[in-house]
Structure formats: C-alpha cells, structure tokens
Amino acid sequence: MRARTAVSTAALAALNLTVAALAVVPATAAPAAVTAAADVTAPAGFVGMSPTRILDTRDYSQVPAIRTVRPVQEGQYYSTPLATFCRSHPPQNCTSVVPSDITAVVVNVTVTNPTADGFVSLLPTAGPPGTRPATSSINFKAGQTVSNLVTVAVGPVDRAAPWLTLYNNAGTTDVVLDVVGYYRTAATDKYGPLTPTRIADSRSDGTGRLGGDAVRTYQVARPELGTADAKAVVLNVTTTDGSWESFLTAYPTGTQRPARGSNVNFPVGSTVANQVVVPVGADGKIDVYNRAGWVHVIVDVVGYYGPSGTGLFSALKTPVRNLDTRVTGGMLQRGATTAVQAVPTDGSVPNVLGVEANVTVTDVSDYGHLTVFPGGGQPPNTSTVNVEPGQTIANSATTGVTGGGTYSVFNHGAPVNVVADLTGYFVTG
C-alpha cells in the first residue's frame, strides 16, 4: 500500500482511469473550414522542448499567476501564462518558458479529479461570459485522469509572457499543462508529413514490457523513414497491458529526464494512445521513461520537423469543426474509411500540405482503434485513437493531406461516432 501511495503522489497526473464519458463534445456542426487570413497566425517554424510544466492547479508552486490551489470551475475561462513564476511586485514580469513572439504552442494537457463528465477546450483568449467554445480539446468522465496533446494559438503577451486560456464546461477539474514545443516565425525547422510507420511494438519485437523507473531508447532519425535530419519527431505512443497506474515521459537522448512532465498517462490494464512531439538527441534517438509497473509500449512515427521539412504552421485563432458524424447521421462503420475535408475547396487557403486536428471518438460499443492517415488507399498498420466500450476519447492528429485537402480516418472496430476539429494548417514555405 505504501508503494502505491508513493507512485500516486509522484505521478503528478497518474490516477486511476475509469470508463470514459458519454459524448460531451459540443454537438454544434460546422462547415469545412473557411478561414480568412486574419483568422490564422503567421506561418512559422517549430522548436521542440523536453516537457516543461507550466501549470498544475493542485500545486500552488505550479500556478504561476496567482499561486493559489483551486480547480478550474464549471463554465470558467481560466487564463494562464506560459511561465513558471510571475512577480507581484515591480518588475511585474513572469518567468516565461518560451519566447514572447511565438505564434502557437504545443502542450500536453492532463485532466484529473473531474467531478462531472465534461470537456476542456484550449483557446488563445477567453470568450464572452456565459458562452462556451464550439470545439473541444480533451474529454473526460467524472473521476478520470486523461491526457491529450493540443496545439493552440497563443493569446497576447502580458507581463513578458504569452498566455493561453482553458475552458471547462462541467463540474470542476484540475488541469496540468506541460509545454513540449512552440511555433515561431524565426524558427527554421519545418514540418515533414509521413505515411505513419510503426517502429516499435514490445508485444512482438522481443523487447517485452518496459519496467518501472526504467528507460527504453528508440532510433527515430532514420533515412528509410525520411527522418534522417529530424530535429524533432511526431509520434503516436500507445501503452497497453500496464500492471500499475503510471505515465511515460519522452525526451531526447543525452539530456536529463525532466523532473516534471508526462506524455502518456495510463491506468492498469487499459490501452491508451497519445500523440507525442519530442526533440531528437544528437545520436538520432529518444528515451522513453516509465514511472511504475510494467507496460507494453508501441511507437508509430507520423511526422517530423527538420531542415528538409517543407511545412510552416499557421494556427487557427478559433478552431473549426470539420466533421461530426452525430450531426451528419452516419456512424463510421467497421472497416470503413471517411475522408475529412480539412482545407477549403475555394482556394482561400493555398499550398496546404498538412493539418493539425483533434479527433474524438464516442458512442463506443467494443474495443478497437482508428487510424488517421494522409490520403486514400489502404490504411497503414498504425493506430491514432484506441477505444474501449463506453468511452469518449480524443487524440491529436498531425497528418498530411491529399491534393484535394482531405485526410482519411479508418475504423478498425465496431461502429463509432467521430468528431474532428481543425486547429491549424501546414503550408509550403
């Protein structure tokens, strides 16, 4: 019992994960994204970081603006700086963890201790009182701990740091934010879309489950993958058959493991996937750390950032819903593929080679998974969102698109409803 308590305390975002919520994504339909130039940020390159914690509403030392422990309230827009400390006396500045001129940030969002089924949305700024966003970033059920990678445009700079805003639609919940990268017009590393490729599966490659307080190293910069000069990689990391509630942290080889920060939080026995963006070590490798117990780890490479990439990122200042099968009236059937029209067909957003989306699955009756991939044809042998009966669960999807501006979602399980929210475009630059 003492060991379990110690793990729960140390794993800042690793509590017992229960069966997930009913569909609580806002059901408002939206057309395929039609955006004006003013609605997106300037095209920007990418800079990766090891996970850096900027917010934990359970820990006063991790609430940089107000130093007060308090969960996010129902219907509340909660703004926080991308910083580790803010001074209340002159100079009233914050200790920003990113440059002040970034356009968008990539954060791993963990929700824990929610008192009701609901969702949290990340936004650049707060909406009018009494309103709620038309899209969601992470869905949860009361008592659940769950994580998702989110890319979001940042709000105005205040007290020397960019800010962003959370919205919680139901009950109260604690929120943990770990910054893993950002976009900046001065940054030179660009996005390269890939056909998703599985590079590791401990269930079948002979490595076996990763033990507690242990690290496994993966070669991710590889010519055959197209990632030879990658400075950071975009992965989908799946955990399954875990013997204890725990979390994984990914970071570049040759660097110290972050003291705080997680990428994938998982409970005992379940299968959990999360997108991970991680810088690559000088040797072309990354390390993945498991806090406790034993767990199988599956790693799919879905994209990269580096000198040979061609995509600059423009974030939507207001995310747009591209697909909601609950509204269109047709669940995605077993073995079926749906094409998501992510790029306007009127030519108003030219030269798009990829998109950043949030894909949510709900009304799940059986175990299964969905695969997001760039175009038509057969889906790759990878997974994007893993589901269990009764769940509503989301995962970030960074994907290339066809010449017609679509990407594909394939369902490997029983019929489900699928919701896709667009958060930004990668444009040739």
Q: Are residues 150 and 43 in the same domain?
A: yes
Query: What is residue 345's predicted lDDT score, i.e. its pLDDT?
Result: 92
Comparison of pLDDT for 21 and 382, the residue scoring more: 382
> What's the domain range around 240?
190-306
Q: Residue 419: inside a domain, yes or no?
A: yes
In the chain, the N- to C-terminal Cα span, in Å, equals 55
Average pLDDT in the 302-323 region?
97
3-class DSSP assignment, residue 134: coil
Q: Are residues 259 and 389 in the same domain?
A: no
Q: How many domains does the chain have?
A: 3
Token output for 407: 């990407």
Model confidence pLDDT, tens digit, residues 47-68 = 999 999 999 999 999 999 988 9
> Which of 306, 323, 341 is the last residue before a domain boundary?
306
List the CATH number of the domain containing 146. 2.60.120
Q: Residue 396: inside a domain, yes or no?
A: yes
Query: What is residue 35's predicted lDDT score, i.e. its pLDDT?
Result: 52
Neighbours of 221 (CB within 10 A): 20
Q: Residue 356: inside a domain, yes or no?
A: yes
Torsion sign across C-alpha atoms 181, 426, 400, 391: positive
Q: Are residues 211 and 177 in the same domain?
A: no
Report whether pLDDT(31) > 80: no
Of 196, 150, 151, 224, nearest to 374 (Cα)? Answer: 196
Question: How far out from the chain centre does Cα 134 lie?
Answer: 18
Of 427, 179, 393, nearest to 270 (Cα)? Answer: 393
Q: Are residues 127 and 169 in the same domain?
A: yes
Query: What is residue 15's predicted lDDT score, i.e. its pLDDT?
Result: 27
Report whether pLDDT(238) > 70: yes
User: Rounded distance, CA 245 to CA 109, Å?
Assistant: 18
Query: What is residue 377's predicted lDDT score, i.e. its pLDDT?
Result: 84
Model confidence pLDDT, tens digit, residues 267-298 = 999 999 999 999 999 999 999 999 999 999 99
Q: Residue 133: inside a domain, yes or no?
A: yes
Report whether pLDDT(20) > 60: no
Q: Are residues 67 and 117 in the same domain?
A: yes
Q: Are residues 96 and 227 in the same domain?
A: no
Average pLDDT in the 391-397 region?
95
User: Rounded distance, CA 25 to CA 29, Å?
Assistant: 11
Average pLDDT in the 297-319 region?
97
Cα torsion 328, 331, 336, 339 to 10°: value is 30
Q: Residue 4: inside a domain, yes or no?
A: no
Q: Are residues 375 and 421 in the same domain?
A: yes
User: Rounded distance, CA 412 to CA 133, Å?
Assistant: 30
User: Rounded distance, CA 88 to CA 86, Å?
Assistant: 7
Model confidence pLDDT, tens digit, residues 190-227 = 999 999 999 999 999 999 999 999 999 999 999 999 99
Q: Are residues 327 and 265 in the same domain?
A: no
Comparison of pLDDT for 376 and 71, the residue scoring more: 71
E-state strands within 241-310? 246-252, 264-266, 272-279, 285-290, 296-306
> Which of 282, 306, 330 is the last residue before a domain boundary?
306
Token output for 296: 């199988």
Q: Are residues 363 and 420 in the same domain?
A: yes
> Which of 127, 151, 184 is the last residue before a domain boundary?
184
Q: Are residues 325 and 293 in the same domain?
A: no
Q: Residue 3: inside a domain, yes or no?
A: no
Comparison of pLDDT for 366 and 7, the residue scoring more: 366
3-class DSSP assignment, residue 6: helix
Q: Are residues 281 and 413 in the same domain?
A: no
Query: What is residue 89's predicted lDDT score, i.e. its pLDDT?
Result: 86
Mean pLDDT of all residues belonging to the chain:
90
Model confidence pLDDT, tens digit, residues 150-169 = 999 999 999 999 999 999 99
3-class DSSP assignment, residue 5: helix
User: Rounded distance, CA 130 to CA 252, Å?
Assistant: 43
Report whether pLDDT(93) > 80: yes
Q: Residue 1: inside a domain, yes or no?
A: no
Question: Which amino acid is present at 377?
Answer: G
Q: Is 90 exposed, middle or buried (0-12, 13-18, 19+ CB in 10 A)?
A: exposed
Instruction: Please state, in angstroms and as integers, the Cα–Cα distance from residue 50 to each residue in 186, 205, 216, following that order.
Output: 20, 27, 16
Position of tokens 């209340």?
88
Tell me what percent of the residues of the chain surpass a pLDDT of 70. Answer: 91
Model confidence pLDDT, tens digit, residues 318-347 = 999 999 999 997 999 999 999 999 999 999
Query: What is residue 282's predicted lDDT score, i.e. its pLDDT?
Result: 96
Average pLDDT in the 114-131 region?
96
Query: What is residue 38's predicted lDDT score, i.e. its pLDDT?
Result: 58
Helix H segments across 49-123?
none
Instruction: Please state, in angstroms and as integers, the Cα–Cα distance from residue 42 to each residue in 129, 153, 162, following that order.
Output: 28, 10, 16
- Sequence-distant (6+) residues with CB within 8 A of 408 are 337, 338, 339, 340, 372, 373, 374, 375, 376, 379
User: Rounded distance, CA 274 to CA 149, Å?
Assistant: 7
Cα torsion 271, 275, 280, 285 to 10°: value is 20
Report whether pLDDT(81) > 70: yes
Q: Are residues 179 and 194 in the same domain?
A: no
Average pLDDT in the 352-357 region?
97
Q: Residue 362: inside a domain, yes or no?
A: yes
Of 231, 376, 378, nearest to 303 (Cα)? Answer: 231
Query: What is residue 329's predicted lDDT score, i.e. its pLDDT?
Result: 79
